[in-house]
Structure 1
């Protein structure tokens, strides 16, 4: 599934309907379970105007369901999905309203207590619908209010069929939620689950969804598990060493990305298909021949691109790792993400095999750092752990419905971002390898980030076509810039 922004998703003309979760005040119950570390930190940062992080931070998805929409059936399917995932029926709030320095308390509604109200708009063109969706997601996905998520459907205009989006023979489902409720893996599960529940309600065909645990239980258990760790814990030592090696700052992008400014300009973005499924398989085989995993091979190419373009002898970044440690969390909605720093030694590399081996060893070395919430580590170090350069890899080939994503026009969506950092997402799907990125909107970053990623892609392709490359990579053709 390609990760992109709503701006880049194909939207036909039609009739937009908002589906707004609601609950009576007496439906809520006090809940003693605490917020997870990452959820609490997100709430405090987003509520504090000094943090500069009060803008949108939602993730979402869009996908199509065949046939005209049956609104009554769809409403029942949404209510069942809300009942299935407890975070959609729960909220952590400050005891002193709007004061991020106050304590947090939780309120949770039991299953069956959340209804979905339907608001239908007049038929409109594509541009108008896109604007309405942006406003809807930005307004409804604030972490400080419930619900921090929202649904919409688009009945396609039969007078203006769009072959790519299915024309009048389908309707599009949109879902957006604040990051505190979902992560990137959660998002790719949504299309299958809502489609399956809708079809069960419509036809009686069983959805056959596996039972899931509650992220709220996960967060409470995680908090209890790490409460007593101290500054000597392995995860803390790894992060302390990373900060020391980077002069107290988080690792940054290898090339210049312009000066940080106070302007709140949306970041630039790119989204590209690098490999089809056959080329992705070939790259995976090359990695296996080198006795490493796919991501280690990718990191080796990032490292070689760094030394080619800068002459640097180290490649540093931060990579996310999932924390879904048991089968009960496999299909849960939540923010199951840890972070680990990567410090790849590029000096004296004997080529791809050696560099990929070092990357694999580095992934093993830092595994413990992803098991402890990075906000807890930040508390112990007295330094916030906030990535400036992140490289994410996710293999979603075996997610339910993955093979049907192209025909369902399914996409993972993310909100605009306004930070001065570089994030790169590499996703392996049944179709191949999709790469997307966001970076500052200035001339330096606009030139250097795509150039760097082009070099990484070229190295991956060279591995496929010519086998493991030698250390010099024929650098007389690609001299280091020393930038």
Structure 2
């Protein structure tokens, strides 16, 4: 599965329908379908006051969004996929309703009190909708002969309907092509506060399974999932037992000290940033086929470590060769889905940790893999300590500037069918000066995606970097190792 912007997905001509969640009040007084205003305790109002705290990362997103306006306000993730056959609108609506009931985080909305009211410990106001009370409403926009028109509509819809400041912060859309009996395409987007990258790769299989059940074709056969709201509450409780002497704090402090109070940056020159915010550029490339990915993994296992450590070693060689970097330094996201009950939940189950190791003096690729593996092992427990809490302890507002993410999604349900269903993960435009690199191992092979500042210098630098990473990984596939230059060995 690729991870790109909506502009890179082939949006077709056809009939576009929006599917917007609502939580209607069925009578009485007070409340509203968007959860604002006073709460009516009567059954007519589906919203109830929910004492559960947000996760740290969700609170951070809410506060960040409250300080932004204009370009860069949006931060959503999504997916697009095809479902074979003619769209049955009633069955699709029921399937989406059931899916929303399944994932409690989609039925909840947290708000930030006014600035003059100090709030600590995750005590943002939360309201949640009872199960069975959310219904999606269809807004049909008719047939459009231009895929470009549909793209512009989808882009505006998702940018406008995915703010964490209001509920719902997510939306669906469908496009029915001229040949309606062949297949229709489903589009989904949600604010990053309520979904992560792994969440969006789950959406297609769950929605199609529930839709097929509504058609009477088959049972959905979905396993139970836990609530992201319970995760946030548990995270807050666990963090309350930590103190400033925690190893994660020491790890972050060392990285910040090394960077003069800033987190690691991309090793190559990115050029002068534009005076006004511009949407970042991006790339997506398939670097290894499934057989090549298996061979790369075998080469890493022979050294005694995993695929991600081998990838980081290749990135370290690329940085040393192209920029003379003596160390590899980045921030990496890691899953916090520690319990099996959250393995299929929709939410933002991600922590981050620094990963850094010396490149110079490594006599071989194997030595670099070993150095990387030590840091990956240290990153895992550190990533379970919320970075937002660490920032409070250290008194810093430093944000990640160079991020390398790795996900192995080969065993996600129906992953082998992604290519046949034209399934893709999507992200909104970004206007930052950072560099993100995503390495995703899928049933179709290894895809590497990146986003970076909109400068020609940055474009050339990131393409050179990813190109060198690709050639190094291919060399490992072919020989079991890769040659390291004098810039590494000296």
TM-score (norm: length of structure 2) = 0.92
Select which of 385, 390, 398 maps to 2:403.
390
1:203: how far off?
A: 1.6
Question: Which residue number corresponds to residue 136 of structure 1?
Answer: 157
* CA deviation map 1:156-209 (0-9, x unaligned): 122xxxxxxxx7500000000000110000110000000000001102511110
1:385: how far off?
A: 4.5
Question: Which residue number corresponds to residue 56 of structure 2?
Answer: 37
Q: Distance between the aligned counterparts of 2:118 and 2:221, measured in 1? A: 44
Question: Which residue number corresponds to residue 7 of structure 1?
Answer: 7
Question: Which residue number corresponds to residue 209 of structure 1?
Answer: 222
* CA deviation map 1:32-81 (0-9, x unaligned): 0111111111101110139x885110000000000000000000000000
1:262: how far off?
A: 4.3
1:317: how far off?
A: 0.4
* CA deviation map 1:83-125 (0-9, x unaligned): 00001100001233x8896662000011111111110002112
The answer to whether the Cα contact below 8 Å between 2:365 and 2:483 also exists between their aligned partners in 1 is yes
Question: Which residue number corresponds to residue 110 of structure 1?
Answer: 130
SS at match of 1:469: coil
Select which of 88, 97, 101 maps to 1:79.
97
- 1:60-209 correspondence runs (5 A): 60-96=78-114, 104-124=124-144, 125-158=146-179, 168-209=181-222
SS at match of 1:434: strand
Question: Which residue number corresponds to residue 449 of structure 1?
Answer: 462
Q: Distance between the aligned counterparts of 2:484 and 2:285, measured in 1? A: 28
Distance 1:391 1:99, change over 3 A: farther
Distance 1:79 1:361, change over 3 A: same
Question: Which residue number corresponds to residue 17 of structure 1?
Answer: 17
Q: Distance between the aligned counterparts of 2:125 and 2:103, measured in 1? A: 19
The answer to whether the Cα contact below 8 Å between 1:292 and 1:360 also exists between their aligned partners in 2 is yes
Unaligned runs of 5+ in 1: 159-166
SS at match of 2:478: helix
Distance 1:360 1:136, change over 3 A: same
The answer to whether the Cα contact below 8 Å between 1:48 and 1:54 also exists between their aligned partners in 2 is no
SS at match of 1:398: coil
The answer to whether the Cα contact below 8 Å between 1:403 and 1:430 also exists between their aligned partners in 2 is yes
Distance 1:463 1:270, change over 3 A: same
> What is the aligned length?
466
* CA deviation map 1:208-233 (0-9, x unaligned): 10000000000011011102322211
The answer to whether the Cα contact below 8 Å between 2:65 and 2:73 also exists between their aligned partners in 1 is yes
Select which of 368, 380, 388 maps to 1:375.
388
- 1:279-290 correspondence runs (5 A): 279-290=292-303
Q: Distance between the aligned counterparts of 1:461 and 1:299, measured in 2? A: 14
Q: Distance between the aligned counterparts of 2:116 and 2:136, measured in 1? A: 30
- 1:82-481 correspondence runs (5 A): 82-96=100-114, 104-124=124-144, 125-158=146-179, 168-472=181-485
Q: Distance between the aligned counterparts of 2:385 and 2:116, measured in 1? A: 27
Q: Distance between the aligned counterparts of 2:143 and 2:192, measured in 1? A: 31
1:132: how far off?
A: 0.3
SS at match of 2:143: coil
Distance 1:100 1:263, change over 3 A: farther
Distance 1:271 1:100, change over 3 A: farther
Out of 382-391 and 214-223, give the one that drifted further: 382-391
Q: Distance between the aligned counterparts of 1:366 and 1:22, measured in 2? A: 40
Select which of 45, 48, 58 maps to 2:67.
48
Q: Distance between the aligned counterparts of 1:30 and 1:471, measured in 2? A: 59
Unaligned runs of 5+ in 2: 25-31, 33-44
The answer to whether the Cα contact below 8 Å between 1:62 and 1:175 also exists between their aligned partners in 2 is yes
Q: Distance between the aligned counterparts of 2:249 and 2:99, measured in 1? A: 38
Distance 1:417 1:215, change over 3 A: same
1:309: how far off?
A: 1.1
The answer to whether the Cα contact below 8 Å between 1:234 and 1:368 also exists between their aligned partners in 2 is no
1:27: how far off?
A: 1.0
Q: Distance between the aligned counterparts of 2:377 and 2:408, measured in 1? A: 18
Distance 1:262 1:145, change over 3 A: farther
Distance 1:170 1:322, change over 3 A: same
Q: Distance between the aligned counterparts of 2:72 and 2:104, measured in 1? A: 25
Distance 1:292 1:53, change over 3 A: farther
TM-score (norm: length of structure 1) = 0.93
Q: Distance between the aligned counterparts of 1:363 and 1:244, measured in 2? A: 20
The answer to whether the Cα contact below 8 Å between 2:225 and 2:344 also exists between their aligned partners in 1 is yes
Distance 1:38 1:243, change over 3 A: same
Question: Which residue number corresponds to residue 161 of structure 1?
Answer: none
Distance 1:34 1:115, change over 3 A: same
